[in-house]
């Protein structure tokens, strides 16, 4: 007698996966937008990545999912991600998830990150000197991706060898290719290649952990120098230490999430700044005022980043117009009612965070770029959720904000830039990226 939300489950086994993946890559949000219009703007059913799924849209849907974790819903991921990401915080549920999040946030929350701003600034300057200065044309996305990954390796594992970092990044790129693949683990499939890459990364991280344990026992390194040391020496609130496998899986996830989403955001930020010179000029003025307040050779401090209010409003508007990710998943753990429909226990839910971003009732003139939307109290609750919300709020939010702003500060101090392909298309694969990597021409 369940009254399920309207929609279509598509073809047997594959459902609407092909349309979902194709449209995500070619016309972001079209799959969601068309079905919201055809079925119901609040929730509809489909079948993607091997599972029947209910797609929740809108601020009310965001609120319901964020405020009912472990009451009505729990985290769930498709088979591809569950197998690729293992025993990390992204797959943990209930008390285990809370304990793991607290342990990670001890390192990743804003007050802990304050002492890393100077190091982030130094790494950023080194990267720009090596890969941007003296260049006429640069492909933005792969270059920023290398930067964000190198930064994550430095701060999470104190890994400084550029050859090793590049080799590790190549393996992570293979993992990313399999996120939206069918979970068929046989040779020559995308998923199989991704699983083999994840296995290779785990072996590398296991070796690093063994070496780090020896260094910690010999007091050759500090127990607070990076995330890896922190996880090795710090128990959770119950006094339990993470196993090596849990440490490996969490570092794998944080390296993946800590560079992929930030590289997408920074790339799209550079795209919009090239298209909107008046916005670039305001960002430049804010950043140059901060630069002028520093002594020669002095690195950025936490207080400097807090002054970058307009710049972060611009980044926020970029994420509204071009969401970095399509969404994430939940599973109903009880039957419940929503929008006049029954959501049956066991059904999978796809939460689409970008469904509110161009709602004119929430964002007037939604297609216009307007960073002032984020001044004062900002958007209404649950209407703008690029980092999720509730108990599952992204643990790396503050880290991502620092990455984006420190990079932006150093770029606008040195360069202006023009797009070499002004009408370049963007799409999700699985995060939002320009199809050609956003080639630009630098102007010092």
Do 95 and 64 meet the contact criterion of CB atoms below 8 Å apart? no
The gap from C-alpha 302 to its chain's centroid, in whole angstroms, comes to 22
Place of tokens 């930030």: 262
State both tokens at 144: 């920023």
Angle at 272 between CA 269 and CA 278, to 5 degrees: 115
Q: Which of 73, 94, 88, 81 is nearest to 349 (CA)?
A: 73
C-alpha to C-alpha distance for 238 and 334, rounded to whole angstroms: 29
Q: Is 115 annotated as a binding residue?
A: no
3 state SS for the chain: CCCCCCECCCECCCECHHHHHHHHHHCCCHHHHHHHHHCCCCEEEEEECCEEEEEECCHHHHHHHHHCECCCEEECCCHHHHHHHCCCCCCCCHHHHHHHHHHHHHHHCHHHHHHHHHHHHHHHHHHHHHHCCCCCEEEHHHHHHHHHHHHHHHHHHCCCCHHHHHHHHHHHHHHHHCCCCCCCCCCCCHHHHHHHHHHHHHHHHHHHHHHHHHHHHCCCCCCCCCHHHHHHHCCCCCCCCCCHHHHHHHHHHHHHHHHHHHHHHHHHHHHHHHHCHHHHHHHHHHHHHHHHCCCCCCCCCHHHHHCCHHHHHHHHHHHHHCCCCCCEEEEECCCEEECCEEECCCCEEEECHHHHCCCCCCCCCCCCCCHHHHCCCCCCCCCCCCCCCHHHCCCCHHHHHHHHHHHHHHHHHHCEEEECCCCCCEEECCCEEECCCCEEEEEC
State both tokens at 100: 């793991």
**Binding site as annotated, residues:** 394
**Binding site as annotated, residues for heme:** 394
């Amino acid at each position: 007698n369940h009254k399920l939300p309207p929609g279509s489950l598509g073809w047997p086994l594959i459902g609407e996966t092909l349309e979902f993946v194709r449209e995500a890559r070619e016309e972001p949000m079209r799959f969601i937008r068309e079905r919201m219009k055809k079925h119901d703007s609040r929730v509809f059913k489909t079948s993607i990545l091997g599972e029947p799924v209910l797609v929740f849209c809108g601020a009310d849907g965001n609120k319901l999912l964020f405020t009912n974790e472990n009451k009505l819903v729990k985290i769930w991921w498709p088979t591809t991600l569950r197998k690729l990401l293992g025993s990390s915080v992204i797959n943990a549920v209930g008390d285990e998830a809370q304990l793991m999040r607290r342990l990670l946030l001890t390192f990743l929350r804003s007050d802990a990150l304050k002492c890393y701003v100077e190091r982030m600034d130094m790494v950023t300057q080194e990267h720009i000197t090596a890969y941007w200065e003296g260049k006429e044309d640069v492909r933005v996305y792969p270059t920023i991706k290398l930067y964000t990954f190198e930064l994550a390796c430095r701060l999470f594992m104190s890994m400084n060898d550029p050859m090793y970092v590049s080799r590790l990044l190549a393996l992570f790129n293979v993992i990313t290719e399999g996120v939206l693949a069918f979970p068929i683990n046989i040779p020559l499939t995308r998923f199989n290649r991704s699983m083999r890459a994840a296995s290779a990364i785990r072996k590398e991280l296991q070796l690093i952990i063994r070496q780090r344990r020896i260094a910690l026992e010999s007091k050759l390194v500090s127990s607070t120098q990076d995330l890896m040391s922190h996880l090795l020496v710090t128990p959770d609130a119950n006094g339990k230490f993470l196993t090596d496998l849990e440490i490996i899986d969490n570092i794998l996830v944080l390296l993946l999430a800590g560079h992929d989403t930030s590289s997408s955001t920074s790339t799209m930020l550079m795209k919009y700044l090239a298209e909107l010179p008046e916005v670039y000029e305001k960002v430049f003025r804010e950043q140059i005022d901060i630069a002028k307040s520093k002594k020669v050779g002095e690195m950025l401090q936490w207080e400097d980043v807090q002054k970058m209010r307009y710049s972060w409003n611009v980044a926020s508007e970029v994420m509204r117009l071009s969401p970095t990710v399509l969404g994430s998943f939940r599973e109903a753990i009880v039957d419940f009612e929503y929008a006049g429909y029954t959501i049956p226990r066991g059904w999978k839910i796809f939460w689409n965070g970008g469904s509110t971003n161009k709602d004119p009732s929430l964002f007037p003139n939604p297609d216009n770029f307007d960073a002032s939307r984020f001044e004062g109290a900002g958007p209404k609750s649950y209407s703008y959720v690029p980092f999720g919300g509730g108990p599952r709020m992204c643990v790396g939010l503050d880290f991502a904000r620092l990455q984006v702003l420190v990079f932006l500060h150093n770029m606008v101090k040195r360069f202006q830039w023009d797009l070499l392909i002004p009408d370049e298309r963007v799409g999700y694969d699985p995060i939002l990226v320009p199809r050609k990597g956003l080639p630009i021409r630098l102007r010092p």
